[in-house]
Each structure stands twice: as C-alpha cells, then as structure tokens.
C-alpha cells in the first residue's frame, strides 16, 4: 500500500459537518486502530481556507470574477448535498483551479474546475493517535467546459523513421513550426486531424460514448478486487449537457480525407524544418556517428519526397473518384494505437499513411467532431458553462469514502447543474 505522508495537525471531534475552524492547539485523539479514526467526526474547509494557493491563471479580471462566482455556486451545491450528512473519518478540502486551455472544434471555451478532496484519518501505528494523511485518493471534481484534447483521435505530434532506426523524426501534427513558434495555437484550434474525437478513446465502447454524447447515465472504471483488504479505487463519471443537442457529430469519410491532405502539407513543412535542424547540428561534428547520420539524412530526404507525393495522390484520387454516397459515410478507422505499428518495428511512410476505412473489422473506431451547433453556444462568453463533467473517485472499502459516495448519489442535485447551462 502506498506510504502515507502525514500532516502535522491532528483531527479532533467537531459537531458539524461544516465545521471550518479547528483550535490551533488541539489535544491528540487516542485510537487503537483505523476504525477509531474512521468514526471521528470530520472537518470541512471551503475555498477560503485552501491547502494550496488558488490560482485562476492569466485570464482577465472580469473572467476570473465570473469563474469564481460559478465555482462558488458549485461549492454551495456540494455543501447542500451534505446538509443532513455527518462527515466523518476524513478532512475535506475545497479548491478552485483552471484547467488546460483548449478548443472544442473551432470554438474556445474556458475550462476550470471545483474540487473537493477527502484526506483520510488514520491511527498512527506507533503513537496510537489519530492523524490525517497528507495525500488524497477520494475526490470529487466538477469541471466546467472540461478540455478533451487528451481524448482526441490523434495527438499533437508523432515520430517515425524512414531508412534507419537510429534517426527518428518527431513531427508536430497540429501546425507548422512557424505558427507554433509564434504562439498561433493560443488563438487557433490547430489542424483538423488533431480535433477529431474517436469513440474508443472517449468512451471505450459505443454504450459509454453515447452516455457522454447525450449527457445521460454515467461511466465507471477503476481497480477492484474480491479481497476487502486490497487497495480498491473506482471513478464514476457523469457528463452534464444540454438536452437538445449532442456534443459530437460523426465525421464523414470526405472530411477525414480532406483533413489528411491538410495534415500532409503540415508534415511536409515540418519534416523539412526538422531535417534542416538535424543537418545543422550534425554538420558541427566530425564524429563517425555524425557523418553516418548526415548520410542517412540525404537518403531520407529523397525517400520522403516520394512518400509525400504518394500519400497525397492516393487520398486525392479517392476524393475525386468515389461517389458522394461513399464519401458521406462515417469515417471508421483503426484505433490510433494500431495506426502506428511502424513506429519502432519497420520503416514508415511518415504519419497517417491512409490504407482503408475499417468498417466491419474487429479493431476499429468511428470518428466524431465537436458539434458546431452545440459549441457555438456562448462563444462570445467563453467563461459561461456549456457542459460539465462530474467525476467522483472513491474507495469502496474505506468507510469515510463509501459513506460520502452513498450520500452523494442520494442527495447531489444534478438538476441544478443542468439549470446552470441555460
């Protein structure tokens, strides 16, 4: 089991689930085992008494004020769910933060979140007094407009080799280097291929994907065991959305192929830039290894020129020759982890060399885009919530965590969250 880091303070009894302040010099509470610590009434600290400083990033003051107002509303909503609940066995701490910035298709919405962390009370094995561990595992998060870039079909970059494994090329996929170096991505969404969402990466399967897409039901995953003494951790996730529109729409084959053409131009420019840098650096050395790499670069430059032309011609031919009905079908591709088997095993044709669509095959994933009708909502007010994600990570074998989870399911007002989207 992960070793606990212990805080310097000791938890004592408090009569209310919402007790905010603890005496500066509170007597240690004796205990014989963790069950004693779990029964001890808990402490709750709202955002005005954070464990770590709160920062809402570099947003303008007006945006920060709007975020804070929304986050306080989320904090009050959680507090209301514990109106008749006695927090015990832990210290609960509220915190506000901003999340990584990102675009939803071509629309930017500010991403920020409320968090309530539960720090477990334990009985110190030597001192036999109650102490509170310094790290949390059980946690509630309510994220406003949560970024989904980690769920995108293709990442922001990829790497490959052409003729020799000793020379690899790491190529950005979202924009050319001149745009990346100018800060262009701070105000632009990047290439289309990096904005697509795949069913397997977002939901794992169609059932879970549909729950996320429509804001109905929940998904759950984590580590479980039949042994009650083993470490167990589950995460339940709800997406809260507007009921009139889905978050995602299918990507057509035509749109996917056009995105590939856009990407091939980006790859071509970035490959040339990476090659220039590699040649410059190795030209400064007279070592045998550097001379060997310089020879490889010359071979790879010629190889890539043909690769680029072949990839572009193949996709362009499909776009011009296939009937409209074929092009309008949803793009179903191989999972991204299977699209790159050549990364380390064999020479590549660069990144995203198109082979076929994978309809009907065992390993496949449909592609989606952020619904522009949905995410154009409040585009002029990026701090306003357009959707939310509620995540509750809990430990079913820990009393304090299981009790909090059960109370949350019974009393948390998801209807109020949906009203915040109006």
pTM: 0.84
Number of other CB atoms surrounding residue 39 within 10 Å: 15
pLDDT in tens, 40-98: 999 999 999 999 999 898 889 999 999 999 999 999 999 999 999 999 999 999 999 99
Give the percent of the chain with pLDDT over 70: 87
pLDDT in tens, 218-237: 999 876 656 656 668 899 99
pLDDT in tens, 388-406: 999 999 999 899 999 999 9
The residues pairing with 170 across neighbouring beta strands, listed in sequence order, are 159
Nearest CA to 151 out of 87, 101, 210, 199 is that of: 199
pLDDT of amino acid 63: 93
pLDDT in tens, 299-328: 999 999 999 999 999 999 999 999 999 999
pLDDT in tens, 171-214: 998 899 999 999 888 888 889 988 898 888 888 889 999 999 99
CA atoms within 13 A on the CB side of 315: 22
d(CA 55, CA 369): 31
d(CA 145, CA 161): 38
Helices (H) and strands (E) in the chain, counts: 13, 16
List the chain domain ranges: 34-146+203-246+380-419, 151-196+251-355
d(CA 321, CA 318): 5
pLDDT of amino acid 344: 57
Helices marked H in 152-240: 177-181, 199-202, 206-214
Cβ burial, residue 101 (10 Å; 0-12/13-18/19+): middle
d(CA 383, CA 57): 13
Q: How far is CA 207 from CA 213, 252, 347, 350, in A?
A: 10, 21, 37, 34
- Torsion (CA) 349, 180, 157, 320 in degrees, nearest 10: -50
Backbone angles phi, psi at 309, to 5 degrees: -65, -40
pLDDT of amino acid 146: 93
Using the 8-state DSSP alphabet, how is residue 48 labeled? T
Is the pLDDT at 254 greater than 90? The verdict is yes
d(CA 363, CA 359): 9
What is the three-class DSSP state of 95?
strand
């Amino acid at each position: 089991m992960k070793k606990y880091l212990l805080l310097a303070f000791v938890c004592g009894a408090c009569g209310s689930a919402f007790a905010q302040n603890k005496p500066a010099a509170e007597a240690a509470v004796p205990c014989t085992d963790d069950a004693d610590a779990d029964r001890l009434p808990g402490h709750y600290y709202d955002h005005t008494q954070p464990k770590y400083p709160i920062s809402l990033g570099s947003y303008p003051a007006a945006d920060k004020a709007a975020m804070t107002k929304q986050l306080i509303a989320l904090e009050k909503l959680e507090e209301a769910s514990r109106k008749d609940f006695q927090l015990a066995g832990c210290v609960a701490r509220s915190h506000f933060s901003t999340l990584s910035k990102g675009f939803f298709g071509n629309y930017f919405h500010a991403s920020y979140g409320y968090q309530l962390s539960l720090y477990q009370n334990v009985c110190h094995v030597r001192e036999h007094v109650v102490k509170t561990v310094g790290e949390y595992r059980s946690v509630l998060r309510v994220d406003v407009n949560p970024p989904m870039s980690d769920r995108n079909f293709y990442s922001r970059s990829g790497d490959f080799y052409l003729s020799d494994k000793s020379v690899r090329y790491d190529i950005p996929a979202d924009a050319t280097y001149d745009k990346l170096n100018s800060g262009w991505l701070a105000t632009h969404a990047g290439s289309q291929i990096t904005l697509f969402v795949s069913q397997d990466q977002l939901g794992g399967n169609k059932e879970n994907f549909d729950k996320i897409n429509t804001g109905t039901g929940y998904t759950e995953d984590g580590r479980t065991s039949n042994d009650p003494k083993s470490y167990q951790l589950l995460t339940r996730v709800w997406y809260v959305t507007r009921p009139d529109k889905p978050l995602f729409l299918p990507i057509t084959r035509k749109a996917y192929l056009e995105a590939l053409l856009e990407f091939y131009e980006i790859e071509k420019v970035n490959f040339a830039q990476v090659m220039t840098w590699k040649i410059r650096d190795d030209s400064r050395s007279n070592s045998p290894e550097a001379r060997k790499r310089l020879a490889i670069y010359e071979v790879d430059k010629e190889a890539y020129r043909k690769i680029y032309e072949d990839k572009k011609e193949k996709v362009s031919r499909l776009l011009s020759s296939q009937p409209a009905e074929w092009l309008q079908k949803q793009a179903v591709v191989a999972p991204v982890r299977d699209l790159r088997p050549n990364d380390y095993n064999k020479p590549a044709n660069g990144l995203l060399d198109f082979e076929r669509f994978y309809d009907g095959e065992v390993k496949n994933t449909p592609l989606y885009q952020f619904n522009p009708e949905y995410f154009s909502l409040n585009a002029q007010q990026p701090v306003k919530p357009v959707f939310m994600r509620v995540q509750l990570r809990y430990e079913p074998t820990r009393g304090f965590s299981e009790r909090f989870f059960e109370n949350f399911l019974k009393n948390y007002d998801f209807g109020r969250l949906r009203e915040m989207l109006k």
